C-alpha cells in the first residue's frame, strides 16, 4: 500500500529531520556551485536559526511533508519588509524548499508550496519571492512550472 504523505506545520520535534534535509539541499547545491559549501558547524547554526528565528516567529512559517514517521520534505518561509522607498511594503520569501531525492516528482514540492502560499495569503502577503541558484537547472524549471518569473540577477566578482 502506498504511504500517505501529510503536509503539516512543523514543530520543534521536526528540527533534526529538517536539518538532515537541509544538508541534502546544501550538498546538492555545492555539487553545482562551491559557494554553497557548508561550514563545519553550519548544521548546528541552522538548527538554532530554524528553532529560534523561524518556528518561534509569527512572521515565519515552516511546514513539513510526513510520510509515516519520516519527514521527506520541508518548506521554510518568512515575511520580509522592503525598504520604505518602494510602494510595495513586503514580500513572502520562500527561503528553503526541499524534498528528499527518493520522494521527488510525486507532487510533494507543489503541496508544500500550496501550504505556504495559503499561509502568506492569510497574512495578507500578495507577492512571493524565491532566490534560485542559476546553476540549479532542475529547481529553475520547477519554479517556472509553478508560475514564478525571474526579475533580478545577482552577480559577483572574487577579488
Query: Could you say which of 63, 72, 108, 125 contacts ligand COA (CB under 6 A)?
Result: 108
**Closest-CA residue to 21 (of 141, 143, 78, 103):** 103
Q: Which is nearer to ligand COA, 66 or 139 (CB)?
A: 139
Burial of 24 from C-beta contacts in 10 A (0-12 / 13-18 / 19+): middle
Residue with cell 514540492: 109
Residue 106 interacts with ligand COA (CB under 6 A): yes or no? yes
154 binding ligand COA? (CB under 6 A): no
Determine how β-strand 60-67 pairs with β-strand 70-81.
Answer: antiparallel
Question: How far is C-alpha 122 from the chain's CA centre?
Answer: 19
Of 8-16, 115-123, 129-137, 148-156, which segment contacts ligand COA by CB under 6 A? 129-137
Contacts of 85 by beta carbon, 8 Å cutoff, 6+ apart? none
The verdict on 132 binding ligand COA (CB under 6 A) reads yes
Binding mask 15-34 for ligand COA (x = CB under 6 A): ----------x--x------
- With cell 514517521, the residue in question is 69
Does residue 63 touch ligand COA according to CB under 6 A? Answer: no
Considering only 104, 114, 117, 123, the residue that binds ligand COA (CB under 6 A) is: 104
Residue ranges in contact with ligand COA by CB under 6 A: 25, 28, 97-99, 104-110, 130, 132, 136, 138-139, 141-142, 145
Amino acid at each position: 500500500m502506498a504511504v500517505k504523505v501529510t503536509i503539516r506545520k512543523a514543530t520543534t520535534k521536526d528540527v533534526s529531520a529538517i536539518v538532515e534535509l537541509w544538508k541534502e539541499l546544501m550538498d546538492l547545491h555545492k555539487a553545482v556551485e562551491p559557494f554553497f559549501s557548508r561550514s563545519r558547524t553550519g548544521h548546528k547554526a541552522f538548527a538554532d536559526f530554524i528553532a529560534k528565528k523561524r518556528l518561534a516567529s509569527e512572521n515565519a512559517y515552516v511546514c513539513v511533508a510526513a510520510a509515516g514517521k519520516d519527514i521527506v520534505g520541508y518548506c521554510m518561509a518568512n515575511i520580509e519588509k522592503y525598504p520604505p522607498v518602494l510602494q510595495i511594503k513586503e514580500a513572502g520569501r520562500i527561503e528553503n524548499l526541499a524534498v528528499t531525492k527518493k520522494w521527488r516528482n510525486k507532487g510533494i514540492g507543489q503541496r508544500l508550496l500550496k501550504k505556504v502560499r495559503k499561509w502568506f495569503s492569510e497574512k495578507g502577503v500578495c507577492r512571493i519571492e524565491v532566490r534560485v541558484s542559476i546553476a540549479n537547472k532542475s529547481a529553475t524549471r520547477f519554479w517556472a512550472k509553478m508560475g514564478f518569473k525571474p526579475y533580478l540577477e545577482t552577480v559577483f566578482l572574487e577579488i
